[in-house]
Amino acid sequence: MRCAKLTIVALLLLVVLAPNALAASRGATPSDLINAAKAATVSVVDYQRKDCKDDRTIEDWLKEAVGDAARSIKWTGGACKLANRDNPRDAGTKWCAQATIAPNKGGPPATIEIYFEAPKGGQPGKLFVFRASVRTKAGWDTMRETLAFENNWGETYVKNYEPQSDPCG
C-alpha cells in the first residue's frame, strides 16, 4: 500500500513538473517571447535609435506609433514569419515575438517582429533585431527600423500624416 502511494505521488509530481522541465529544455515559451519583446526598449532592437537612448518599451512605442488608426494589436510568439532566407541578416530564428496590427479603416494587417537568439535555461535569448511589414500606398514594404514602420503606417492609415526624418525626433 505504501509503495502504491509513493508511486501515485511520483506520478503526480511528474505530471506537474514535466511540462516545465520540457519547456526549459526546448527553450522559451511563446508567452516568454511575447513578454520579453513587449518589455524590451526600442534602443535595444533598433540600431538607428540606439544613440537616442529611446527607453520606451516596444509595447509603449507600438501603441504610440499606430495610435487610434489601429483596431487591434495581437501578440504571438514562435518562429519568425518576416524572414528572408536569402539574406542572413533577415533569415529569422525559431524564436520571435510578433505583433499583428489591424488597421481601423480596413486593409491587411501590419506586422512587427522581434528576433531572439536561442533560449538559455528556458528563457528567451538576447533580442537582436526589429523587422516589420506594412502595406504602403506603393505596395508592401519590409523594414528594419522603427521610424520606417511609423512613417509607412502613418502615411497609409493616418489622415494628414507628416513623415519624420529624425529617428531621435
The distance in angstroms from the start CA to the end CA of the chain is 73
> Residue 125 in contact with residue 95, Cβ under 8 Å?
yes
pLDDT class for 2, splitting at 50, 70, 90? low
Q: Does the predicted TM-score (pTM) go above 0.75?
A: yes
CA 130 to centroid of chain Cα atoms: 8
pLDDT class of 12 with cuts at 50, 70, 90: very low
Higher pLDDT, 18 or 63: 63
Average pLDDT over residues 138-153: 94
Per-residue pLDDT, 22: 41
pLDDT, tens digit (0-9, with 9 covering 90-100), for 21-43: 444 446 799 999 999 999 999 99
**What is the predicted pLDDT for the residue at 87?**
79
Q: How far apart are the C-alpha atoms of 51 and 112, rounded to whole Å? A: 21
Q: What gap in Å lies between CA 27 and CA 123, rounded to an integer?
A: 6
CA angle 142, 88, 140 (to 5 degrees): 10
The mean predicted confidence, pLDDT, of the chain is 85
Query: Domain map of the chain by residue range?
Result: 27-157
Residues 16, 10 contacting (CB under 8 angstroms): no
Least Cα distance to 79 among 44, 118, 110 occurs for 118
Taking Cα atoms as reference points, which of 74, 122, 69 lies closest to residue 95?
A: 122
Q: What is the pLDDT of residue 38?
A: 98
Dist. CA 74–CA 90, nearest whole Å: 22
pLDDT of residue 27: 79
Concatenate the DSSP letters of all residues of 57-103 into one string. BHHHHHHHHHGGGEEEEEEEEES-SS--TTSGGG---S-EEEEEEEE
